[in-house]
Amino acid sequence: MSLIQEILDHEVFPAVGCTEPISCAFACAAAAAELPGPAERIELTVDPATYKNGAAVTIPHSGGRTGNPIAAALGALIARPELHLEILRDVTPEVLSCAVRMLASGRVTYRCDERRRELYVEAIVTSGASSVRCVVSGGHTHIACLQLDGRPLPTVAAAATDLAYRERLKALSLEAVLREALRLTPQQRAYLQRGIDMNLAIAEKGIDLRGNAFQLQQMMKQGLMADDLFFRVKTRVASALDARMGGLPEPVMTSGGSGNQGTMTILLPYLVGRDRQIDLPRIQESIAIGHAVNSYIKQFTGELSAVCGCAIAASIAAAVAIVYQHVGIDMPKITLAVHNILGDLCGIICDGAKPGCSLKIVSGADAAMRSAFMALAGHGTSPADGVIGRSAEESIRNLSRISLEGMGGVDATVVNILQHKAAAEEV
């Protein structure tokens, strides 16, 4: 199987709702599907990044509720893991009512395992005297363990994945990654177009929520912003995130397993390409490159990291895609684009999925476009500047060090802040 196909299979897929809470729903559904009766109790344990990403984001079809526990309860009651990250499309009023009662009666316990450094969701779902333990790790729908009363079960209900491609990807140069991404079949192009159409559709619906995209429009009407390419792109991507983080039950095509990153990686190159009159096949190729670059960066920073993947990894991916649209695989200019993003945004933290993520995607979109067009003009941040390396690969490794070493305590601090906020709200 080609590398780009493996990336598309494992990291680019439709999701309804923020992917970390929905991964909790999926894990509980996979466990509940193996029980002899309906789910009665849930014990949910997650890593710090999944904890923070579920703290403030609205769950689709939940009546405006937030958090991983309500997503978990809904998933367990639906018990259809074959729906993967679109599972909450099946929420009915009856399912929601049962889930709310389950939480209110204390039958869902929830904790954060602060020792975990990668995506980790453990769901123990009980019915009568039987319980099933499901562990999702290595990917939002990758079941690493499934046990009924302590006995291993086959993970036939989930999309079992071989993640060996990640080590192959990490060992490549950035140029090699780009060339791998261009080996597209007609079926892959059709799938990429499906992602474009899907993400454009949700971007049309976020304005009605009067969130950050609406505010940008008001600023333009007041003469504070120009109605130009930058404004139009930033408004569209912000609108998509306003919709997602607000719990709108519409699918988004992800990138790197993240819907917010999928919005940036897909919509920004598409909108810029259309504005600059780039042919659609080349735009599709640029988006394939964006997915590959986003995945490549995450092999170094981690699937869920202390830095904002949307504002940094996906912004780099989008900037590289724009450069490709105009000059192809021109590594000196692509390197400048990578360096410009890092010189601008390196160090922006991820403090969880929430409505404010659309503010960060506006910053990321602006930086991606500026960085790409500056790079096309031959201008870029020098290797003498800060953490910028002598090559794009070295700069990405430096970003990895900042995320994993320099910011190693950020997630624990963010989780502590969120826990204190939750405790204060309960008083």
Query: Which pLDDT score is estimated for 302?
Result: 84
- Give the C-alpha separation, 301 to 278, whole Å: 32
Residue-level pLDDT at 159: 43
Q: What is the pLDDT of residue 411?
A: 86
Return the domain boundaries, the chain: 3-152, 165-415
Taking the alpha carbons at both ends of the chain, their separation in whole angstroms is 54
Residue 427, pLDDT score: 57
Within 1-150, where are the H helices?
3-11, 19-32, 48-53, 68-78, 93-104
What per-residue confidence (pLDDT) applies to 155? 57
CATH number, domain 3-152: 3.30.1330
Q: What is the pLDDT of residue 352?
A: 87
Which residues fall within 8 angstroms of residue 77, CB to CB, at 6 or more apart?
A: 32, 38, 39, 95, 98, 99, 102
What's the confidence (pLDDT) of residue 160? 44
pTM: 0.94
Low-confidence ranges of the chain (pLDDT < 50): 156-160
Between CA 87 and CA 94 the distance in angstroms is 16
Residue type present at position 273: G
- In whole angstroms, give the CA distance from residue 309 to residue 306: 9
**Other CB atoms within 10 A of residue 54 CB:** 30
AA letter at 391: S
pLDDT value for 426: 67
Residue 309 has a pLDDT of: 85
> Cα separations (Å) of 28 from 21, 121, 270, 271?
11, 9, 36, 37
CATH number of 165-415: 1.10.4100
Tokens of 369: 């476009």
- Contact predicate 204/239, CB 8 Å: yes
pLDDT given for residue 306 in this prediction: 85
Residue type (1 letter), 377: A
Residue 127, strand partner residues: 130
pLDDT of residue 231: 97
pLDDT of 304 reads 82
Q: What are 309-352's pLDDT values in tens digits?
A: 888 999 999 999 999 999 999 999 999 999 999 999 998 998 88
What pLDDT is stored for residue 410 in this prediction?
A: 87
